[in-house]
Chain A
Amino acid sequence: MKQTESIHPTGGGRFAVMLLSMLILLVFGLADVARAGTGMDSAQERIAPIGEVRLQGQPPVEVHVETAAIQEQEAEPRAAPRLSSADYPNIGVSSRAVVWVLAQMHLFFGALVLAVPLFVLLIELVGVYTRDDRYDDMAHEFMKISLTGFSITAIFGGSLALALFLLYPDLMAYLMHVFGSQWLVYAGLFFFESFFLYVYYYGWNALRYGNLKWVHLTLGLLLNASGLTIMVMANSWATFMMAPSGVDEAGVVVGNIWEVMKGPLWNPINLHRFIANIAFGGAVVGAYAAFKFLSAKDPVKRAHYDWMGYTSNFIAILSFLPLPFAGYWLMAEIYAYSQQMGITAMGGILAWLFIVQAVLIGTILLAGNFYLWSGMSRTDGSERYKGLIKIIAFVLVVCFLIWVTPHTLILSASEISLLGGSHHHILGPLGIMPAKNIAVNLMLIATFLSFQIYRRSDKVATVSWAPMGNALMIAVYLGAVVNIIFLGVYYGYFTNTVYKVGSSVAQVMTTLVVIVFGLVIDSLMFKKAKVLPSHWGRIPDRAQYALFALPIAFTWLMALMGYVRSSVKTHWHVYTVMKDNSPDNFIPAIGYAGNMITLVTVLFLLCVLFMFWVASLSGSKQPKPVVAAAGGEA
């Protein structure tokens, strides 16, 4: 069976390597074409001989090289090109739409294949320390699911590079000029990543025990190091376009590559994408586990996939908890870099999308919590905590409703007169950030409480100070709720803006205190706890649909926020440096963007279904046909 499993991905692997090689050749070949296209004036100049060429029987060609002029041209700094609409090739459909779909698909799969090896490595490490082979098997299976994803990522990456060079040649030529040899390093890292990926995956059973296991773990570490470096390098292109650094006002490069890369938004995006990728990866493999759980009849397999689904949900939701804080940091840096850009994102046309974002995040938290509550039926000890579920559900729903309350409504004149103003006198205060900050932090605390009671449900503390520990834990929660509400209400509504913004940091710290205290107290209190039996597989089928809801909401959310992130540049390719004069140099309307976002989400989910199918296919084996006996029946 193991051999059968390993047969399929070989083809995909070869294909991916071949495709990557083609991609790199194409990227650099096209870059040269783009450079030649912008640097020469006529075809005659392009084919003019360089140096002395003497044909047989002909006098020597006189070549007048104006050395001084060339040197002057070389010394002249290269500014960002100023383009007209004629500089953009017209292929009959919106160039932006083509690039949008390809870039988003590449980003989805890139996020997935960067994230899965990260938590696979951690699960493998847990397996080594606990000496439990189940962890090792699960980590291997996670890798199997994502392996097809690497090929799909390369396909969309290659298509995206082609589309960009064909549809935005001058922009790409400028970016190639700015980032220079960084592109070569980027391409080189793909070779490293592919090498480590295939040795890591195919060497899993060959390097399974003893010292060889540490070799395998090191390979996993190197795989993740290459993947993360690829991610942060690609992030630097996006952040350079949003907040350029290392160039002057005209776009002339004045710094080295490091100064170009480390723009003000680089690290906030790095952190945000790093965390979000893990949450996204966990959600996608969770859907695979749910699919396998629902289709399995064998109780052993159902138990295995139940455990796999629980682990995936654990990864997705736990890494999701700090994500709003990383997003908050990113937005704060955007405001610090350009207040206008920040207001475009959160106060202008895009502001309503943050309400949609709230709906999606609320969906994710409700689905994640519902799965945990359903999963508590695996242990009999969970009865002790079931009363808390109603309180958590109440907090989640109320906070969700506050979060989705809009500040400004699109109203007709008669509706405004009926309302008594453009802001509802009760709902208006709930539409601004202080109320939403309270809601978000309370939802995160409530979700952590769900985790905590889930993890406690199969244990009974045996330490003598357990009642004191419980009292302290209750006090941590109650104090945090009081502090978060006080900070939001007092500084948010009764002091100036500076204190309003500053108090949100204190709210975040309060939430983190709850998480840290919860983890520390529980790890000490349940160290030698009596463990009650867990019945893996004993979970209602409906809980699996929560695992399907997670990747759908995550995918839609990523596409939505990608649209916001890209749109804040408004009519600039590179903000304030290189203007976008293409026919698409405007922020697309929300309805149109909604259709595009839905399209890429559906496309991604179809590709994910294909990935699951391929992963399942490798585990099935066609029985050998029985050869019919001579003159008899088969």
Chain B
Amino acid sequence: MEQNNLGIAGRLAALIVAIIIMLAFYYGLDHLVMGMQGLPLNLDLTPAG
């Protein structure tokens, strides 16, 4: 089985941090892809303009 260096709390913390990072990543991706198509978004992801 995989090496288990982290306890349950550590693994949960790692998971939460990873989820936050990935959500931020997808947020940036949405801005990028929509912007490239000439469809800019506001910070709250509503259509800009």
Instruction: Considering the complex, give the chain A residue whose CB is closest to the CB of B33.
Output: A506
Instruction: Considering the complex, give the chain A residue whose CB is closest to the CB of B4.
Output: A467
Q: Are B19 and A475 in contact (CB under 8 A)?
A: yes
Q: Chain B residues with Cβ under 8 A from A505's Cβ?
A: 33, 37
Segment among A9-17, A267-275, A437-445, A455-463 that sits at the interface with chain B: A455-463
Q: Chain B residues with Cβ under 8 A from A478's Cβ?
A: 19, 22
B7 to chain A, nearest CB (A): 10
Q: Are B15 and A509 in contact (CB under 8 A)?
A: no
| B23 CB contact (under 8 Å) in A460, A479, A490, A506 | A479
| B15 CB contact (under 8 Å) in A466, A471, A480, A490 | A471
Q: Are B21 and A498 in contact (CB under 8 A)?
A: no
The binding surface of chain B is classed by DSSP as helix
Q: Are A467 and B14 in contact (CB under 8 A)?
A: yes
Q: Chain B residues with Cβ under 8 A from A146's Cβ?
A: none
Q: Is A474 an interface residue (CB 8 A)?
A: yes
Q: Chain A residues with Cβ under 8 A from B18's Cβ?
A: 468, 471-472, 474-475
B9 to chain A, nearest CB (A): 12
Q: Are A463 and B3 in contact (CB under 8 A)?
A: yes
How far apart are the CA atoms of A513 and B22 in the complex, in Å? 11
B15 to chain A, nearest CB (A): 4
| A495 CB contact (under 8 Å) in B17, B26, B47 | B47
Q: Chain B residues with Cβ under 8 A from A470's Cβ?
A: 2
A251 to chain B, nearest CB (A): 35
Q: Are B21 and A475 in contact (CB under 8 A)?
A: yes
Instruction: Considering the complex, give the chain A residue whose CB is closest to the CB of B36.
Output: A505
Q: Are B2 and A506 in contact (CB under 8 A)?
A: no
How far apart are the CA atoms of A506 and B39 in the complex, in Å? 11
Q: Are A461 and B25 in contact (CB under 8 A)?
A: no
The residues of B with any CB-CB pair to A shorter than 8 Å are 1-6, 10-11, 14-15, 17-19, 21-23, 25-26, 29-30, 33-34, 37, 39, 45, 47
A-B contact pairs, 18 of them (CB 8 A): A460-B2, A467-B4, A468-B18, A470-B2, A471-B18, A472-B22, A475-B15, A475-B21, A475-B22, A476-B22, A479-B19, A479-B22, A479-B26, A483-B30, A495-B47, A496-B47, A503-B34, A513-B29
The residues of A with any CB-CB pair to B shorter than 8 Å are 384, 460-464, 466-468, 470-472, 474-476, 478-480, 482-483, 487, 490, 495-496, 498-499, 502-503, 505-506, 509-510, 513
6 closest A-B pairs by beta carbon, nearest first, are A479-B22, A475-B18, A483-B26, A466-B2, A475-B22, A506-B33
